Chain A
Amino acid sequence: MLLRELELDLDAFEGPFDLLLTLVLREELEPADVDMAAIVVAFVERLLERDELDLEACGEFLVLISALLELKVRALFPEEEAELADLEPEEAAAELARRLAEYRRMKEAAIWLADRLVAEGDRFFRLGPAPLAPRSERRLAPQEPALLADALRALAVPPPQVSIAHMALRFPPVSQFLERFRAVLRRRTRFDFDTEVEGLSRVEQAVAFMALLELRKQGEIALAQAAPFAPIRVARAGQETVAEEERTTAWTARSA
């Protein structure tokens, strides 16, 4: 049988046609790498060597080579499959003609290049890596030393000191106010908190207030306030002389 005897000598493969088919089907050989035209030429040459026309072998060969061609086309143009299928026969023929013409022109261009290579074969020239260009020098315009000194002087001025006072809050100790309030209450039975802390800083007033709460917690004093934001009245514990109406709205440590 003609096909069994068909030996191939291609760029990508050398051996019997049957083995080529097997390798392609096992995906061990890319159909895209196989020159199909060379297979057809080899087959036709074998066919010519015989006197009789083996129609059966020809039929079989046509089926096999068509299948190979289809595999190759699918491998080469996977994404174009869909769009080409939508083409009308005439459009498909036009597209095919366009591609054939494109390839023909490239083949002709390759022939031109090959001829050119032969014609220019006697051109000899020096080859080498690109030379390193010298580093370009940056030239400065002539400078006045005095101007340069001025510029440096302007840069040499120390920058204004940035205040970081806000970062270190100085708290007077709570104990200081405890002693102070106790001393006041030793002299007087009661006093007005706002009057007592007047003139102190915000932080000192806050610490004083904490001292007040501390004294209340320890039961040393009693507190009363007539209304929210009204003056806080402080009295020695057990000696409250705060008015009755003040006591009902007394501000106590419970809400602190």
Chain B
Amino acid sequence: MDRPLRLISANPLDQLARTLEALLVVASQPLAVEELARAADDDAERVETALGLLGERYREGRSGIVLEKVAGGYAFRAAREAAEACSRLVEHPLERGLSQASLETLAIVAYLGPVSRPEIARIRGVAADSTVASLLERGLIGEAGRESGPGGAVRYRTTPLFERVFGLESAAALPRLDDLGADEAEIRDRLVSIAERRAG
């Protein structure tokens, strides 16, 4: 006799977990706990518990599908061990050919966003029109209002897709800027020492 597949046997959250599983399969983007709770018509706290159970079931090494917390929500992705097979089936068009200029622009938008094209150009020292256009086309950045004042420039911020492509739980998962690169005082000291050498 056929018996229904029981993922989490004898658990009161069994039914809810199965519903969440279905929702995550249908969705084409990460779903926040609130969205899942609304769709499942259930309590957010219970949804989180059920997600924990699903995460245990769908994890690397145990399943070809992995449940991950990404871009402020939950989503299914392929297990890493299947990456090679996946790459033979589908391409990674989004991140392929991201130039150094695009990555620098993306970093500026990710850290300083919402930020306008003139601001990006000021920091990078070159016009940012083409890199911004290409990042927009890839869907990694999106428009986020305009600068105040009449005729204000369009401002940009990163999209949930950016967080997903880079495997970030949220924008807050980016490393702190203080941990990156030389600090201002060091550069200033170096400038001053060069000036002194020239004067001497």
Contact = CB atoms under 8 A, between A and B. Distances in A.
Interface of A: 11, 30, 32-35, 72, 76-77, 93-94, 96-114, 116-117, 119-131
Contacts of A104: 181-182, 187
Given A97-B184, A113-B166, A124-B83, A76 B121 contact: yes
21 contacts: A30-B127, A32-B126, A76-B125, A93-B188, A96-B191, A99-B123, A101-B182, A101-B184, A103-B124, A103-B125, A104-B187, A108-B180, A109-B177, A109-B180, A110-B106, A112-B175, A120-B166, A122-B83, A124-B77, A126-B28, A130-B29
B78 A117 contact: no
Contacts of A32: 121, 126-127
Nearest to B186: A101
Nearest to B190: A97
B165 to A, nearest CB: 7
Contacts of B195: 93
Contacts of B181: 101, 104-105, 107-108
A114 B165 CA distance: 12
Interface of B: 26-29, 75-78, 80, 82-84, 86-87, 90, 92, 94-95, 98, 100-101, 103-104, 106-108, 110-111, 121-127, 161, 164-167, 174-175, 177, 180-184, 187-188, 191-192, 195
A127 B28 contact: yes
Q: Is the interface of A mostly helix, strand, loop or mixed?
A: helix
B180 A112 contact: yes
A110 B181 CA distance: 11
Given A110-B106, A126-B28, A121 B92 contact: yes
By Cβ-Cβ distance, the 9 closest A-B pairs, closest first, are A122-B83, A128-B28, A109-B107, A97-B188, A108-B180, A108-B181, A125-B77, A124-B86, A101-B184
Contacts of B26: 131
